[in-house]
Structure 1
Amino acid sequence: MTSGRTSVLSGLTALLVAVAPAVAAANPPALPLLPDGPVPELSWTQCGTTSDAVAAGVQCATAALPMDYDQPQGTQVHIAVARVPATDPTQRIGSLFFNFGGPGAPAVAYLQSTGAGIFSALNARFDIIAFDPRGAGQSEPSIDCRVDATTEGLVPRPAPTPFDLDAGALVARAQRYVDSCLGNNGEILQHVSTANVARDMDALRAAVGDQRLSYLGFSYGTFLGATYAALFPDRYRALVLDAPVDPQQWIHDPVSLSATQLVAFERALDRFLAACAADQTACSGFGDGDPSTAYDALLASTAATPIPAPRYTENPAPVTVDDIRDATLQLLYAKRFWGLLGAALAQAESGDGSLIRLIMDRVVAPRDDPRQDRFFAIAGSEQQWPRDVDAYLERGAREWADHPHFWSHFAYAEIPFALWPIRDEDAYGGPFTVAPSSVTPLVIATTYDPATPYSLAAGMVRALGNARLLTMEGDGHAAYGRNSACIDRLTESYLIAGTLPAAGTVCRQEVPFVAPAPAPSGTGRVTVPDAVGTGVLGRP
């Protein structure tokens, strides 16, 4: 990975762009290109979940679509859809669809609570469209393995190591999780591949009256975008793929993808700790000048004696070493959370685990949260995971030795994939090539992204063939949306006018590393920014 690149100055944008193959900015023709299946009818109703005016204009609908596109008149899924209508109807281009990744991350609740949110600058020209992918969020049926995410979920807790590993018990635990997923869901598990989500999105595109799709996908959502382009090459007008995966690797070599991610998360931790050492004020004084040594010492002491969490009265359970690792990994997803992470670690170092406990319970692993279930079922339905359980155990031991902070989220946690019997026959495995005559997708990658490392962008660009790479020099997962004015401006120019950045363009991240504001004096409360729960969080 290359660092230290020159940022793009905002005043020179006009000199750094090139025009993409014809992307119409005018209103689309009245009749959209028809999808392969039925076009659902959408009956919109007001559905904002807050009294704040920001969500007052949000509308929701439900789309009935085939569970199996080979049997369009058979069982239906009911896809939850939300929109924020364009604020300038006279300049409206069409609709902008988005996907937050996961796989299985919901999107409807985001619009319901925030309005256009990070897409506000695009909302003048586009209706902002969210939909919860089949099997997820408010769509029905929605996958839920009905396990306690903290004790019975995908990631084993306490984290196993080669010194205390009971291989039989670990595999039995994985089998119980698989059995719970199989026993509590049913037919939907066989029809949640990315290709079927792409078919749903094409039907929704037609349902909202768009001739061609405009789309912004984050993380796994880039694989959805690449799949849509492969299946429907003449039905999109603009594709933005931010924090990309390598589509061939996603489907055909998930073990290599996993290994690449583990290295990147460890590197992200190193960068955070180095930033803490350079700015102790921003890091709330954690580590007293040597945060790296202090972090490992905190893990060691917490492994011996969990830390009380008395100020988090909803659940003052002591914080474990696994809690600290898990909270750290989650907050490394965005640089704007670094200050919060520093504050939580500083509190824990002083003997108070309340902020770590709050982050765990509300953000990382709420007990009834099925996000990991959906990630597992969707990925398992299409990715080609090895079936040899011993290979996972051997890899887990190597990962513990080489990557001592986050190993437990990878090989040991992936054993359920080896045991998962469900395959979606409609899954698509490539090729993902975009013809030279087609609209060029815009691929955006961050140099120190922990979840979709920068190297994966090369795989996406290589797989597409016809693609333009835009780089953000910075940290965290995904670039668009208040990380860099340069990134936002160039992305919006592409989506609105079809203007591509010049090849090799690099923008610089502008997010400061600052300590969070303290709770109001005298309250004794422990607080966490609401934004932690709304970002592009998950793996990948």
Structure 2
Amino acid sequence: MTRMPGRRTRRRRGVVAVLTAALLALPAPLAFADTAGEAATPAARAPVPALTWAACGTTDVATAAGVQCATADLPLDHDRPGGEQVRIALARVPATQPAQRIGSLFFNLGGPGAPAVQLMQTSGASILTSLNERFDIIGFDPRGVGQSTPSIDCKVNQETDGSSPRPWPTPVDLDVEALVGHAQRYVDNCLANNGEILRHASTADVARDLDLLRAAVGDQQLTYFGFSYGTFLGATYAALFPDRYRAMVLDGPVDPEQYADDPVGLSTLQGAGFEHTLGSFVDACKADQAACSNFGGTDPLAAYDALLASAATTPLPADRYATDPRPVTADDIRDVTLALLRAKRVWNVLATALAQAAAGDGSLTRALVDLVVRPRRPDGSYDPQLDRFFTITGGEQAWPTGLDSYVERGAREWVDVPHFWGAFAYSEVPFALWPREAEDAYDGPFAVPGSSPTPLVIATTDDPATPYPGARSMVAELGNARLLTMYGSGHTAFGQDNSACVDTAATTYLVDGTLPAPGTVCRQETPFAAPQQAPSQVSATAVAALAGAGAPGPVATGR
């Protein structure tokens, strides 16, 4: 299938020698219509899959009650509906008030590469509990992800052989040959361990899958909630199928045109965003030392810098984390900070880890690296979500192919992003070497007709992973969209005890289509509260208890 047309021609030729958990009855299916435009419609329509729902769970952890699972066989290439198939895994929790049921609510947690099925198997509809009365909550693992098959996995040690080099290089000690060699080995592993799915895992492929899944559950129109990268999936669906959705919430939005055609610009905004949110965190520590576990006193930023300098010279022991007691490096501390800055409700966990590290104990930091930053599967191998992020974005985004641009930007970020520079340009070199291009990627236009339902775009003013300017750009590009702003910090706004104002507005819109008034601003209500007392022995259970109960949050886009 030829690449979907966009507003501009994308040049991608040539090859030159990157807290998942924090920390998120309608009538018969509508016939496939032509109103989405000729470019959006494959030559042949794949048949609507039949879904057989059954109680399901996971052997790894306790199973939530009431969860049902199914699989759907869909075309690997939507141009060839009778050809090779992919199997898409789904999970649902049926509406708790069947007499008042509106239909199904599909959601995507972002990434790209974030699975939904295991989350529902372990947590039910927790991330969207307030909507479960009126909707069947349905999560699905997009093609190439999670329990869907084939599932992308580069089969590497994410710490030593993943997309991000360790230790982070600097302009002072940069070995370009070693940096490129590391990136090439990662790319080679990804190519060697995955097949044709790499050519057919674009967001547009997933949007077409979603349209068939919508029909499979009997909904004439889609009701959708997308977080983070899931907002790009939603914008793509709205562009391809503007008459096939009834309501769409896009929380933690990216600028869709920038996401597709200027990923370097998005990366630059993210770097500045994480630095700004680190400033918000240290300001909160100054204002409430008890909530910050007394880390840093009157100058937490200076204390943070001193901790990094000390750990760079002498890694910290992690003896209380028996599962993996290796010493903690400065890069480990930075990784944990990047992960936990995304959700204000776990800033106290970050503060506890930093306070203990400053006292010479890296155990909690090491546990957070293994449980949140680079999580392991039960057999000890690394979860491949970072591989899925790399291969999916590498296949459809317009990354530069010239190595010099990454080296030069890395030097600038050493100055402009002084705490997190290594997570950006230097870790993005594999994109310059990636030879695969998704066959059916779609890069616009993303305009939503006035005759379509108006998507609700929710954005947080201090969101490090999807910075607020991207929300304004998304609204402008969609044209027919309504912006709801949450004044606060962290990645995404709905749920997670962030704002009753946001939750009410989104729920009202999804249930009856009523949008909040133009210009509505909600305020974050998440407290920066003193954590529970740290346990004497660090474990996965102890870390979960320290973080407190609550629905898992969405995955940050790209970091």
Counterpart residue number, 2:467: 453
Counterpart of 1:129, as a letter, is: I
Counterpart residue number, 1:382: 396
Deviation at 1:34, TM superposition (A): 4.0
Counterpart residue number, 1:44: 53
Deviation at 1:288, TM superposition (A): 2.2
Deviation at 1:56, TM superposition (A): 1.2
Aligned to 1:262, which of 266, 271, 286? 271
What is the alpha-carbon distance in structure 2 between the residues aligned to residue 519 and residue 251 of structure 1? 43
* Unpaired stretches in structure 2, ≥5 consecutive residues: 1-24, 34-44, 377-381
Does the aligned pair in 2 maintain the 1:94–1:210 contact within 8 Å? yes
Query: Residues 395-414 of structure 1 correspond to what in structure 2 (within 5 A)?
Result: 395-414=409-428
What is the alpha-carbon distance in structure 2 between the residues aligned to residue 423 and residue 537 of structure 1? 24
3-state secondary structure, aligned to 1:234: coil
Counterpart residue number, 1:326: 335
What is the alpha-carbon distance in structure 2 between the residues aligned to residue 51 and residue 121 of structure 1? 27
Counterpart of 1:32, as a letter, is: L
Counterpart of 1:229, as a letter, is: A
What is the alpha-carbon distance in structure 2 between the residues aligned to residue 475 and residue 537 of structure 1? 15
Does the aligned pair in 1 maintain the 2:76–2:200 contact within 8 Å? yes
Aligned to 1:439, which of 453, 477, 481? 453
Residues 1:30 and 2:28 aligned together: yes
Counterpart of 2:150, as a letter, is: P
Counterpart residue number, 2:4: none
Does the aligned pair in 1 maintain the 2:127–2:553 contact within 8 Å? no
Counterpart of 1:179, as a letter, is: D
Does the aligned pair in 2 maintain the 1:340–1:515 contact within 8 Å? no
Does the aligned pair in 2 maintain the 1:49–1:55 contact within 8 Å? no
Task: Tell me the number of residue pairs that the alignment of Structure 1 and Structure 2 aligns.
Answer: 512
Residues 1:166 and 2:175 aligned together: yes
Counterpart residue number, 1:535: 553
Does the aligned pair in 2 maintain the 1:222–1:244 contact within 8 Å? yes
Counterpart of 1:195, as a letter, is: A
Residues 1:66 and 2:69 aligned together: no
Deviation at 1:224, TM superposition (A): 0.2
Does the aligned pair in 1 maintain the 2:321–2:537 contact within 8 Å? no
Counterpart residue number, 1:492: 507
3-state secondary structure, aligned to 2:89: strand
Q: What is the alpha-carbon root mean square deviation over aligned residues? A: 1.6
Residues 1:295 and 2:304 aligned together: yes
Counterpart residue number, 1:508: 523
3-state secondary structure, aligned to 1:342: helix
Aligned to 2:288, which of 269, 279, 288? 279
What is the alpha-carbon distance in structure 1 between the residues aligned to residue 115 and residue 357 of structure 2? 32
3-state secondary structure, aligned to 1:417: helix
Counterpart residue number, 1:13: none
Residues 1:422 and 2:436 aligned together: yes
Counterpart residue number, 1:92: 101
Does the aligned pair in 2 maintain the 1:251–1:383 contact within 8 Å? yes
Deviations 1:102-134 (A, max 9, x none): 001101111111111021110010000000010
* Unpaired stretches in structure 1, ≥5 consecutive residues: 1-26
Counterpart residue number, 2:211: 202
Change in Cα spacing, 1:52 to 1:173, as seen in structure 2 (3 Å) is closer
Counterpart residue number, 1:467: 481
Does the aligned pair in 1 maintain the 2:63–2:121 contact within 8 Å? no
Deviations 1:218-259 (A, max 9, x none): 011000000000000100000100000000000011110100
What is the alpha-carbon distance in structure 2 between the residues aligned to residue 501 and residue 85 of structure 1? 27
Counterpart residue number, 2:379: none
Does the aligned pair in 1 maintain the 2:344–2:526 contact within 8 Å? yes
Change in Cα spacing, 1:51 to 1:395, as seen in structure 2 (3 Å) is closer
Counterpart of 2:303, as a letter, is: A
Deviation at 1:48, TM superposition (A): 3.3
Deviation at 1:369, TM superposition (A): 1.4
Counterpart residue number, 2:118: 109
Q: Percent identity between the aligned chains?
A: 65
Counterpart of 1:320, as a letter, is: T
Counterpart of 1:405, as a letter, is: H
Provide TM-score, normalisation by structure 1: 0.93
3-state secondary structure, aligned to 1:151: helix
3-state secondary structure, aligned to 1:529: helix
What is the alpha-carbon distance in structure 2 between the residues aligned to residue 53 and residue 175 of structure 1? 40
Deviation at 1:50, TM superposition (A): 8.6
Q: Runs (4+) of structure 1 moved beyond 6 Å?
A: 50-54, 530-533
Aligned to 1:153, which of 143, 162, 166? 162
What is the alpha-carbon distance in structure 2 between the residues aligned to residue 164 and residue 484 of structure 1? 45
Change in Cα spacing, 1:437 to 1:330, as seen in structure 2 (3 Å) is same
